[in-house]
Amino acid sequence: MALTETALIERFFRACGAQRADVSLGIGDDAALLSVPPGCELVATTDTLVAGVHFPIQSPAVSIGHRALAVNLSDIASMGARPAWALLALTLPRAEEAWLAEFAAGLGGLAREHRVALVGGDTTQGPLCVSVQLLGVVVAGGALRRAGAQPGDALFVSGTPGDAAAGLALEQARLEAPPEKRDYLRERFLLPTPRVALGERLREYASACIDVSDGLLGDAGKLARASGVAARLEFEALPVSQPLVEAVGDERARMLALTGGDDYELCFTVPASRLARLAAELPPRAWGYTRIGTVLVGEGAVVVRAGTVMEFSHSGYQHFT
Ligand code: ADP
Ligand code: MG
């Protein structure tokens, strides 16, 4: 590498994230020292993005940096926790300054937005791969989990799932759309919005929560399995964005909302007794979430359309040819 590892870290990563008073020792030593507030639990998660697997090789560096943190923020959000500190393990084929500057801008912009400090990491040479570890805090015993949904609870999802899957298909030229629609959908893939503020507020209302990364239907199924219940989704209730409907039609938009990936939305359940308070205190329009179904006795996740259970093949739905 033209740039030494130390120079690279100094230049692009030392001041990349937020400054926080609870970081006693950040980048520069052998490990970071962090203070967890009394009465809180440490929440830890990690996710890796491999070039050519989790993003197209030619993705803009700003998107790679943003997504590497966003996918982890989404996991912390789904726990109802507040993100605080990140570590970055970066494997690069070569130290290209323009690429690194863009990458650091993508990661750092989102980190500062959520007051996340970058407190350490590792830099190695090899095929492009970005791994972020994110630590957060939550009041002890207060985290949301996948388990906890009860029959009778209402089922919700944030945002408009399906957009990111269409955005990725556009990126990879497996789908075509008019320019205005294309820009919106591509951005939903390239720069997803982790629902951190919503997740944290949901601790007061939700009985269970999961983040939607592998497709709403599959992830609702995981929540149901962990809770020992069934999830019933209403096809007609699925929130689909106007650009998605205009790009692929209503039918395909709803299939993508169910089975597309990379949404980084929250799927959560709320007991009937808390629904009125939820609607009053977190208005669905302002907070961007929609009721999509109900929790029942049983197992698995099903989609009901005009009163009939839809069949999904094991191989999943074929989005694009
Ligand atoms: P060591 O060899 O002891 O692991 P390094 O020379 O790899 O130390 O790293 C020096 C410092 O820079 C450490 O504090 C480490 O956490 C940090 N660091 C290394 N790579 C990154 C990176 N990509 N992003 C943020 N911090 C990094
Ligand atoms: Mg090291």
Rg (CA), the chain: 20
Q: Which residues surround ligand 2, an ion (CB under 5 A)?
A: 122
Residue 45: which domain range? 5-139
Q: Among residues 139, 168, 201, which one ends one of the domains?
A: 139
Q: Assess whether the C-beta atom of 27 lies below 6 angstroms from ligand 1.
A: yes
Nearest CA to ligand 1 atom 20: 122
Q: How many domains are there within the chain?
A: 2
Q: What is the domain-level CATH number for residue 203?
A: 3.90.650.10
Distance (Å) from CA 28 to ligand 1 centroid: 7
Same-domain status, 74 and 39? yes
Domain end point (choices 139, 171, 205):
139
Q: What is the pLDDT of residues 222-278, one digit of tens each?
A: 999 999 999 999 999 999 999 999 999 999 999 999 999 999 999 999 999 999 999
Establish whether residue 92 lines the binding site of ligand 1, counting it when its CB lies within 6 angstroms of any ligand atom.
no
| Encoded tokens for 303 | 């989609």
Give the tens place of pLDDT for each residue, 10-65: 999 999 999 999 999 999 999 999 999 999 999 999 999 999 999 999 999 999 99
Residue 181 lies in a domain: yes
Same domain for 108 and 58: yes
Residue 184: pLDDT over 70: yes
Contact (Cβ atoms closer than 8 angstroms) between residue 190 and residue 68: no
**Average pLDDT score, the chain:** 95
According to the model, what pLDDT value does residue 175 have? 92
Statement to judge: residues 81 and 225 lie in one domain: no
Q: Is the pLDDT of residue 304 over 80?
A: yes
Which atom belonging to ligand 1 lies closest to the Cα atom of 27?
14
Q: What percent of the chain has pLDDT over 70?
A: 97
Give the model confidence (pLDDT) of 56-79 as tens digits. Answer: 999 999 999 999 999 999 999 999
The answer to whether 73 and 114 have CB atoms below 8 angstroms apart is yes
Same domain (yes/no): 113, 231: no
Q: In this structure, what are the phi and psi dihedrals at residue 37, rounded to the nearest 5 degrees?
A: -60, 145
Task: Tell how far the Cα of 215 is from the centroid of ligand 1, in angstroms.
Answer: 35
- Which residues is 88 bridged to in the sheet? 121, 132
Ligand 1 site, residue 118, Cβ cutoff 6 A: yes
Please report the pLDDT score of residue 315 as a whole number: 47
